[in-house]
Amino acid sequence: MDEKQTKRTIKREIIHSKSFHESREILVYLPPGYNESQLFPCLLLHDGPDYFYLGRIVTQVQSMIYDRKLIPFAMVALPVNKAVRKDEYSPVGKRFQAHRQFIMNEVLTYIPKYYSVDLSSSGLVIGGSSLGGTASLHLALTNPSRITKVLSQSGAFLETTTEQIIQNDSLQHLSIYLSVGKEETKVKTHLGPLDLVTRNREVFRHLQEKQAHVSYHEKEGDHTWGFWQRDLPEALTFFFGVK
């Protein structure tokens, strides 16, 4: 990889959140060739700093854009305090509604003021791993006119998830990439051990029944950043691959 490919643009922004009554730093990745004369698609990531540093997503995206495997797109990395992560990302968590308001009313309003990104339903993808994948799907289910594309790696889906999917007459508008590691049958969570393979199969089946466009994958791997990192190229290609 030459020097041009290793050079990356990551901006830091501070959002003074009314939903959480605190300030939060977000990271914004701008792709090669970014300019304000065009709108760029955008990937919004739960556990964003972990995706940047542990998932090495910026390095992979840079390389794939330069190799013309992906179209240029921006990324917004959302931070989370690990001590309250389950309360914010779980759909039954006591801070989930505040998290939803933070995303929909603050992040998606703030970013377009300063960056040339397409946050319409056709340009925005929201994603995450484990509970981050769960939160992403629930945000799409509760905001169908705004969010129609979801990237979920090892989603820690709850019964609430399947119940909410079943309540919909149709999810034809929804495109979702679902992946899970074949070894993720006894994942330790705040709710006790969960069989995420079974839960992802159930969500996949219910989404299919509601006619969602689903790319479903069970791969060798467990509930680690190593697995999610290896899975990212296929996940990113699903949404941003050069046609």
**3-state SS string for 130-175:** CHHHHHHHHHHHHCCCCCCEEEEECCCCCHHHHHHHHCCCCCCCCE
What's the whole-number mean pLDDT along residues 108-129? 97
Question: Which pLDDT score is estimated for 238?
Answer: 98
Tokens read off for 199:
């839960």
pLDDT tens digits, residue range 33-62? 999 999 999 999 999 999 999 999 999 999
Question: Which pLDDT score is estimated for 2?
Answer: 54
Question: Which pLDDT score is estimated for 5?
Answer: 56
> Domain holding 41: CATH number?
3.40.50.1820
Integer Cα distance of 191 and 86 in angstroms: 10
Question: Which pLDDT score is estimated for 6?
Answer: 63
Question: Which pLDDT score is estimated for 7?
Answer: 82
pLDDT tens digits, residue range 7-41? 899 999 999 999 999 999 999 999 999 999 999 99
Integer Cα distance of 117 and 108 in angstroms: 10
Question: Which pLDDT score is estimated for 243?
Answer: 87
Sheet strands (E) in the chain = 9-17, 22-30, 40-45, 74-77, 117-118, 124-129, 149-153, 175-181, 213-219
Tokens read off for 50:
């972990």
Integer Cα distance of 173 and 151 in angstroms: 15
Question: Which pLDDT score is estimated for 45?
Answer: 98
For 136, the domain range is 3-240
The alpha carbons of the chain give a radius of gyration, in whole angstroms, of 17
**Whether 228 contacts 196, CB under 8 Å:** no
Q: What is the chain's mean pLDDT, rounded?
A: 95
Amino acid at site 17: S
pLDDT tens digits, residue range 158-182? 899 999 999 999 999 999 999 999 9
Integer Cα distance of 222 and 34 in angstroms: 35
- Other beta carbons less than 10 A from residue 35's beta carbon: 9
pLDDT tens digits, residue range 67-104? 999 999 999 999 999 999 999 999 999 999 999 999 99
Question: Which pLDDT score is estimated for 189?
Answer: 77
What's the whole-number mean pLDDT along residues 110-129? 97
pLDDT tens digits, residue range 188-237? 877 778 899 999 999 999 999 999 999 999 999 999 999 999 999 999 99
Q: Report the largest interatomic distance among the alpha carbons of the chain, rounded to a whole angstrom.
A: 51
Kindly give, in sequence order, each residue whose CB lies less than 8 Å from that of residue 5, ignoring residues fewer than 6 positions away: 32, 62, 63, 66
What's the whole-number mean pLDDT along residues 123-138? 97
Question: Which pLDDT score is estimated for 114?
Answer: 97
Number of domains in the chain: 1
Question: Which pLDDT score is estimated for 116?
Answer: 98
CA-CA distances (angstroms) from residue 235 to 3, 14, 17, 33, 210?
26, 28, 30, 22, 22
